[in-house]
A and B are shown apart, each in its own frame.
Chain A
């Protein structure tokens, strides 16, 4: 009888970062089959009557009440604060200490599946990067930019829990640039703009994944409890300046030599969509190999690059 009840019970999933476009897509895919609880540290989002939504900081004691109230089976942690947001200290508190709290509570309340969203930025952009970087490559970005330290620390932390508590079944996903409707990250903003800065003489290879494909990837990963770290990227590549051209952006060249010059310009003009800490990503390629994820989870992106760029070209309105 107990077995039967357990089988019939809808799995309970905690989704963090619920105010983001990606989390909304993930929740949309899970709401039919799972009981989702949405959390965001920034705002309380309205996701309809059947999805409880909370605005809570992970570091607050009241966060544990959610675990007491709902019998969570899994956690999808999408609530990483991007490097363009808040100050370094506040990001560290939210991304590193907040994640630690989340993982501790997950362990305490017997969670059986955790998916953590990281970023390909952890590999760091430098001239000596080989192409098709796989998951065992070192995370160099902490040594290259202080603004990316919290992203690397978040991963390190998730890694420690991955090995120390195998029963948590942690998967860390490192996606390439997530773009598409509603995405407000740096790359999404650049592709959506009328004019986008480029470093004169540099057009590194980039990879883009449509937000719908990324949401599919997260749901696929959640459903198959395989521990590990996985890059998520389609097997398609394009040079940055070509991508801008296909999105209908006018390219504004920024002097690139000496390297300190574009950083100074970015700081002086406060270019939010061309931040100094990402400057090297506009100069050197960071091409990741997503084949391990595709093979393990049977993932095949459905939206080609042309479709992504056509969306941006046809919707040239400021976000």
Chain B
């Protein structure tokens, strides 16, 4: 037994390995796809995410079955908590669901591809540069993509602004309309409390080339996370002015707000 297969047998349980193997993926002969997804690395990521999802954040997911079994999907949620933990948890919920699991893809900040090791690692577990062209090609490839239209406005916001949706970009609606993709809204409750930030040191962020630099405790708190997925929303692809696109964005935002309120109501205690 080689070292790699020994490590894999210890780190990736057979059940998880089988779970990933039964998901159909458009990958090449060496297990890669055009965005750098790697089937073997994903298995390690998936195994690592399991205790984080189940034990650390004790995640409760409702309505994950709303995500269609096939075809292009945009999973749109509220972004929070400085680090993209919400993306990992939403992705794990989709990949681990019993019926019709899918490989989640995620759109990431433009900053990541320039970071050694981390950029490649994120690509290998399914994330890709958050570029509209990338998103369009992925939808054309029938992928299920996690998007946070708030971007860094959402993840970098301070604790005092928790659960207040920031401005949404309109790009995701345009793409969903063009590629007839389902939009599955998700309200994430709990990630705001994982890394509560009290301030953002903008000059330091600028000097480091990072989107923000939070003043927070250097630990990730084990808040209990609730994920509430909503029914898929479909929008026709008629040629409409931007202000009507804004209305559609508001519809999605209102649905996410409703799902957040549901999660907050369900939550008995923060930790």
Contacts of B110 in A (CB 8 A): 127-128
Contacts of B119 in A (CB 8 A): 201-202
Cα of A127 to Cα of B134 in the assembled complex, Å: 13
Q: Which of B32, B34, B35, B123 has the most CB of A within 10 A?
A: B34
Contacts of A238 in B (CB 8 A): 28, 30, 32
Give the residues from 4 to 51 in chain B that come closer than 8 angstroms, CB to CB, to chain A: 28-30, 32-36, 38
Tell me which of B56-64, B125-133, B154-162, B190-198 binds A.
B125-133
Q: Are A304 and B113 in contact (CB under 8 A)?
A: no
Contacts of B124 in A (CB 8 A): 239
- Sort chain B's interface into a size bin: 20 to 34
- A-B pairs under 8 A by CB, number: 74
Contacts of B133 in A (CB 8 A): 130
Cα of A285 to Cα of B122 in the assembled complex, Å: 14
In the complex, residue of chain A having the shortest beta-carbon distance to the beta carbon of B35: A131
Cα of A129 to Cα of B34 in the assembled complex, Å: 12
A237 at the interface (CB under 8 A from B): yes
A305 at the interface (CB under 8 A from B): yes
Number of chain A residues whose Cβ lies closer than 8 Å to a Cβ of chain B: 29
Contacts of B30 in A (CB 8 A): 236-238, 242, 246, 305-306
Q: Are B117 and A201 in contact (CB under 8 A)?
A: yes
In the complex, residue of chain B having the shortest beta-carbon distance to the beta carbon of A259: B114
Contacts of A257 in B (CB 8 A): 116
Contacts of A237 in B (CB 8 A): 28, 30, 32-34, 36
1/0 per residue A277-319: CB within 8 Å of B?
Answer: 0000000110101000000000000001110000000000000
Q: Are A239 and B36 in contact (CB under 8 A)?
A: yes
Q: List 6 tightest A-B contacts by C-beta distance, closest first.
A: A201-B116, A236-B28, A130-B133, A130-B134, A131-B34, A201-B117
Q: Are A202 and B38 in contact (CB under 8 A)?
A: no
1/0 per residue A192-228: CB within 8 Å of B?
Answer: 0000000111111100000000000000000000000
For this complex, 22 residue pairs linking A to B, each with C-beta atoms less than 8 Å apart, are A128-B110, A128-B113, A128-B129, A130-B131, A130-B134, A131-B128, A131-B137, A132-B34, A201-B117, A201-B120, A202-B116, A202-B119, A204-B120, A236-B28, A237-B33, A237-B34, A238-B30, A239-B38, A246-B30, A287-B35, A304-B29, A306-B30
A93 at the interface (CB under 8 A from B): no
Cα of A43 to Cα of B268 in the assembled complex, Å: 81
Known: A237-B36, A239-B32, A306-B30. 19 other contacts (CB 8 A): A127-B113, A130-B137, A131-B34, A131-B128, A131-B134, A132-B137, A199-B116, A201-B116, A201-B117, A202-B116, A205-B32, A236-B28, A236-B30, A238-B28, A239-B36, A242-B30, A256-B116, A284-B113, A306-B29
